[in-house]
Amino acid sequence: MANLITLLRLLLLCLLVAMAYWASPAVQLASAPLLVLIIALDGLDGYVARRLGEVSVFGSIFDVVADRVVENVLWLVLGDLGLVPLWVAIVFLVRGAVVDTIRYTSRKPGTTVFGMMVSPWGQFIVGGRLMRGLYGTVKALTFGWVLFCQPWPVLEPAVWDKWAQTADAVTMTLVIASVVLCLVRGLPVVIEFLVGHSMIGRLQVSFRSR
């Protein structure tokens, strides 16, 4: 059941993308509520998995993959539509590729991708509930706000002309906040990886010199 909920999230994402590209402005008013549903299902699948005893390695990986797909697709779509700068999507794609590669090649058996952090500051920034919650909330607000604003230039052009600058300022504030948190939360992963491999290299050289 939990995996079916995760699959449903991806199907709803496809619907959301189709609405962003091809739906009428009146239909696009439902984009933000649909996004809320997709986000709510992200929490529901984990709850159902624990409740029904369906926790598995495949399910946890599938959930993480779905999270990444939802995030990257939304950034790419919003960038392609010109609703956010395209460089933002590039930042998230590159950061995600680098961090995920490090996580899944360096993670020790029995540890989670968040629990692999060694330093206290790394644990706080990457694995702490506060930072994870803040990051997820800012991204959700950004996606929701941009999707909410999308139909209004056509639906109410006079009202939009009056509030366009304010709306754009809110959009860029949310986008920059998302980018900053994205980079800040990825930095400890990269630093610990580089430091760890540097120490291993020094130990190997020291051992060989004996």
Q: Which long-range contacts (CB under 8 A, 24 or more apart) does 39-45 make?
A: 39/140, 41/5, 41/6, 41/8, 41/9, 41/12, 42/9, 42/66, 42/67, 42/70, 44/5, 45/2, 45/3, 45/5, 45/6, 45/9
According to the model, what pLDDT value does residue 49 have?
A: 64
Positions of E strands within the chain = none
Question: pTM for the complete prediction?
Answer: 0.87
pLDDT tens-place string over residues 50-75: 666 766 666 667 777 888 899 999 99
pLDDT tens-place string over residues 185-209: 999 888 888 887 664 444 344 444 5
Domains of the chain: 2-209 (1.20.120.1760)
Give 124's DSSP letter.
I
Instruction: Please state, in angstroms and rounded to a whole number, the distance separating the CA atoms of residues 174 and 155.
Output: 23
Using the structure block, give the residue that is written with the tokens 């050289």.
205
pLDDT at 18 over 60: yes
Map residue 147 onto helix, strand or coil: helix
Mean pLDDT of 162-178: 96
